[in-house]
Amino acid sequence: MSSPSFASTRLAVLSLALVSLSAFADINVGVSVSATGPAASLGIPEKNTIALLPKTIGGQKVNYIVLDDATDTTSAVKNMRKLVAEDKVDVVIGSTTAPNSLAMTDIAAESETPLISLAGSAIIVEPVDAKRHWVFKTAQNDAHMATAIVEHMLNNKVQTVAFIGFADAYGEGWFKEFAKIAEARKIRIVASERFQRNDTSVTGQALKIIAAKPDAVLIGAAGTPAVLPQKTLKEKGFKGFVYQTHGVANSEFLRIGGKDVEGALLPVGPLVVAAQLPDSAPSKKVALDFITRYETAYGKGTVSAFGGHAWDAGLLLGAAIPQALKKAQPGTREFRSALRDALEGVKNLPAAHGVFNLNAQDHQGFDQRARVMARIEGGTWKLVK
Amino acid sequence: MDLQIALLLGQDGITNGAIYALLSLALVLVFTVTRVIFIPQGEFVAFGALTLASLQTGVLPGTLWLLIGLGAVAGLIDTVFALRDRQLQRIPRILGINLALPLALAGLLANIPLSSLGLPIQVLLTLAVVVPLGPLIYRLVFQPIAEASVLVLLIVAVSVHVTLTGLGLFFFGAEGSRTPSFTDASFEIGDAMIQGQTLLVVAASLTLIVALYLFFERTLWGKALRATAMNRTGARLMGISATMAGKLSFSVAALIGAFSGILISPITTIYYDSGFLIGLKGFVGAIVGGLGSYPLAAAGAVMVGLLESYSSFWASAFKEVIVFTLIIPVLVWRSLTTRHTEEEE
């Protein structure tokens, strides 16, 4: 073999490799979260977390295109269309709230783009039908959280419960979920009351609850408005257990609630009480790692449960993208489809909020390791052992 | 429902009713003097409560920047008018009131330890920030269209409401605030516990109502307002400035709103948009009084408070439905019993 031909073969091989490398485009991840508007206190930590996600996955550069939907369903749809049509993203993370995520589902299915929602409602991924085929979600389902509450009630011999919740989808959803599980476990619901987010008084509801003499009260409300029922119940002399939902797990609730919410019990993702978890808990290491990164970037005490959902979405991608890269190139329909299949195949992945075990029927993938009970003591969350 | 529950509900209803009564009086006042159905009344409640809360955490409230901004615009417009009319002697006064006073207030707030001041001083500072917003809004928004029809004024009032709510979100954020109670005292009367704060709200409302009565009956300014309310043209012929009357009525409305906010903020968490619903219930009360009668409006508002309290006990999911459905029979009754005596437009 003469040397010139050898050199030209080498050149040819090299240039071929170069061609295939340059054709291997960057991975584009679209993000639409509610960084302003009513859900801003959830959306801002999510947006902050996106900036901490890995810039390369499986040796491939990853670009994040972050948009804000202002907690508005129409904007969420607009963002989703822009991401798939103009930016040609391979996967979308978002949105913060259930209505926005549901609205984005249609476009995800139509454009065959995997969507990873950060919202709580189980309806986003259940049941897995033709549309939800493309949709995944990282936040715990309400049912995960409701079972934790019922379990704690059973362990503490609670037989009668009163419910007071928002007169909207959040309150109704919780009541239905909770009533189903409670009745199966022979816990009697003796009163079911509603209030508005903006109400200045819930005295009437509180008195009716107290007159029904329940062992415990569950407050089905999110954010700081959930303070009012607990405060009123305490004022009117209620001495039983008070349960809140994980919708109150942020520092604003503690700030507004102060002394009035001491002793409240609530189910939370492991991230919220990560430092207090036993070392055997699968989420502890991941959660602490996330908290350290987040607080290094944004200051001490700034981390919240919601950032964890975005971090977990990043972990899912970190596990699924290398699998998909083996089958197709980013930017193609085949890659999106391979990525979807890879997401569905994620097994035993420890995340900040639990352990992912996804399959064709379950696009959420958490089990009972995804929640623990916490009690508010001395103005912070304490793990209930 | 036993007697104790009935008493507790009554107490709760009267507390809220007292706040609604104050707001209904402000609405009646503004409507009779300027024919504006003052939808943004509730925003002053939220601004009062949230301004006090941010003063207590030692933060300069966003309403202060609004005050300075509105003052600057109003000052500029009035200066231009004064120059056009060649009344240069009016300019120092215009600039003094619209620019120097808000800036002096800002300088004062920035240089004193806000969070460690006593509660009465914090309340006074809150009122100093929020109340001037009333006349400034009148000057900038309603004075140029003072002769427009009630419908136009209503539409403009709605847009002011939406603007102020948006600004409230910008200034104070989506999360609410609760201020510490003025008093933790509570008394036992019979079976029922009476909270000190409740008594304070009722007493403060009554005091303010009496003060308003004296203002209308005994002072020249109060009489000028009443004269304008009865007959705008006649009052003007007697030398009462409609502009002055408008600004004064908006000042009183802003004072009542901010004061109500301060009273209610220890009882419940106030959000940037909480004011609207509180104002709307005051409006239902004012409607009971036909937007013209102070005692009937106050009575109507207390009735709204009681109805709200008892319906939250019996059917909490339908509370708002019950309260706002009340307006229908009231309107039917009023349209059957009163003669239509609207002023010529």
How far off is chain B from A237, nearest CA to CA, in Å?
A: 10
d(CA A355, CA A72): 31
Residue B165, domain member (yes or no): yes
> Across the beta sheet with A216-220, what order do the strands follow?
A188-195, A160-166, A216-220, A241-244, A265-268, A372-377, A380-383
d(CA A356, CA A298): 27
Q: Which CATH class is domain A11-140+289-366?
A: alpha beta
**In B, which residues are within 8 Å of A38 by CB distance?**
174
Domain ranges of chain A: 11-140+289-366, 143-268
**Alpha-helix residue ranges (DSSP H) falling in chain B:** 3-34, 41-56, 62-84, 91-95, 101-111, 119-130, 133-137, 150-172, 196-218, 220-230, 232-237, 242-264, 274-288, 294-314, 319-325, 327-337
Q: Which residues contact B130 (CB under 8 A, 6 or more apart)?
A: B44, B47, B48, B51, B63, B254, B257, B258
Interchain CB distance below 8 Å, B274 and A200? yes
Residue B265, domain member (yes or no): yes
Q: Please report, in tens digits, the pLDDT of each residue of chain A (385 residues total).
A: 445 555 556 655 555 444 444 445 789 999 999 988 778 878 889 999 999 999 999 888 999 999 999 888 999 999 999 999 999 999 999 899 888 999 999 999 999 999 999 988 888 898 899 889 999 999 998 888 899 999 999 999 999 999 999 888 788 888 988 999 999 999 999 999 999 887 888 988 998 999 899 999 999 988 888 999 999 999 888 989 999 998 888 888 888 888 889 999 999 999 999 999 999 999 999 999 999 999 999 988 888 888 999 999 999 999 999 999 999 999 999 999 999 999 999 999 999 999 999 999 999 999 888 999 999 998 889 998 7
Contact B97, B132 (CB under 8 A): no
d(CA A257, CA A114): 39
How far off is chain B from A359, nearest CA to CA, in Å?
A: 38
Interchain CB distance below 8 Å, A202 and B310? no
Contact B140, B73 (CB under 8 A): yes
Burial degree of B116 (CB within 10 A; 0-12, 13-18, 19+): exposed
β-partners of residue A192 are: A163
d(CA B273, CA A71): 16
How far off is chain A from B257, nearest CA to CA, in Å?
A: 15
Domain count, chain B: 1
Structure tokens at A48: 């902050």
Domain that holds residue B39: 3-51+153-337
Neighbours of A367 (CB within 10 A): 13
Which of B273, B274, B316 has its CB closest to that of A195? B316
pLDDT one-digit tens code per residue, A370-380: 999 999 998 88
d(CA B38, CA B220): 24
pLDDT one-digit tens code per residue, B106-149: 999 888 888 888 888 999 999 999 999 999 999 999 999 988 99
Domains A11-140+289-366 and A143-268 share a fold: yes
Which of A164, A195, A203 has its CB closest to that of B8? A203
d(CA A209, CA B343): 51
Average of per-residue pLDDT values in chain A: 88
Helix axes B3-34, B41-56, angle to 10 degrees: 110
Interchain CB distance below 8 Å, A224 and B8? no
Helix (H) or strand (E) holding A32: strand A27-33
Residue of B nearest to A257 (CA): B178
Angle at A384 between CA A205 and CA A269, to 5 degrees: 80
Query: Phi, psi (5° rounding) for residue A112?
Result: 55, 55
**In A, which residues are within 8 Å of B268 by CB distance?**
199-201, 228
pLDDT one-digit tens code per residue, B230-286: 888 888 898 888 889 999 999 999 999 999 999 998 888 888 888 999 999 999 999
Helix (H) or strand (E) holding A375: strand A372-377
Residue B97, domain member (yes or no): no
β-partners of residue A93 are: A31, A116
Residue of A nearest to B5 (CA): A207
Residue A4, SS3 per DSSP:
helix
Longest dimension (CA), chain B: 72
Residue B121, domain member (yes or no): no
Q: Answer yes or no: CATH 3.30.230.20 is held by domain A143-268.
A: no
Helix (H) or strand (E) holding A162: strand A160-166
The interface pTM score, or ipTM, of the predicted complex is 0.75
**In B, which residues are within 8 Å of A252 by CB distance?**
175
**In A, which residues are within 8 Å of B317 by CB distance?**
167, 193-194
**In A, which residues are within 8 Å of B176 by CB distance?**
224-225, 256
**In A, which residues are within 8 Å of B43 by CB distance?**
none
